[in-house]
Each structure stands twice: as C-alpha cells, then as structure tokens.
Amino acid sequence: MVSNETNTLTITARDVTGQRRTAYEVSRESSVDSLIEGLGDRMNLLREDADGRPVTWYARHEREGRALHRSETVGEALKDQDEIRLQPEISAGATGN
C-alpha cells in the first residue's frame, strides 16, 4: 500500500527460480540500485559464483517486461504492488583473466 506519510510503496520480488519470494516496502526516492542491494540481502542471494567471481543482479519489471536501470528511482520505475524478478547478469565466456 502507498503511504503518503512515508512516501513508500510495496513491491513483490522473486528470484529467477520463483522459489524465493518476498514483499518489500521501499521509499519512492530510493534508487533501483539500492532496491536490488536491499533485496539481495533480504533474499540471501549469491554474492559470488562457484568460481569466486562477483555476481551482479538486475531487476526485471514483470508488468512492463523490461530490465530496470540501476539509476532509475523506484517511484519513476514502479507502481505500488508491482512485481520484479531478480536475475543474475550472465557474462558468457568471461574468464576473469
């Protein structure tokens, strides 16, 4: 629900498998980047892959079918009760060397 006093909205986030799902209240002024970081902690998402490389997560907006930009504000990108899916960024063929 939107709270005029706190200027927040509630979204639902799930991981790519759909097994982890959570409702999350966030300020409209927050960046999508900070939203992803907060959800990563709350949902206990991997920080490193099996080879020890950092995992970068991005958010996919379910209603609009697009990736959210980390620089967008939550209030610009989302509406109350929207759902996002967190997905790891895949770097095919990356060796790190």
Q: For 16-35, how does the pLDDT look when each residue is reduced to its tens digit (9 = 90+)?
A: 998 999 999 999 999 999 99
pLDDT value at residue 60: 96
Local confidence band at 90 (pLDDT 50, 70, 90 cut-offs): confident
Report the Cα 78 to chain-centroid distance in Å. Answer: 11
pLDDT value at residue 93: 58
Supply the pTM of this predicted model: 0.82
| Domain locations along the chain | 8-88
Nearest residue to 68 (alpha-carbon basis) of 44, 90, 35: 35
pLDDT value at residue 70: 94
CATH of 8-88, one of 3.40.50.300, 3.10.20.90, 2.60.120.10, 3.40.430.10: 3.10.20.90
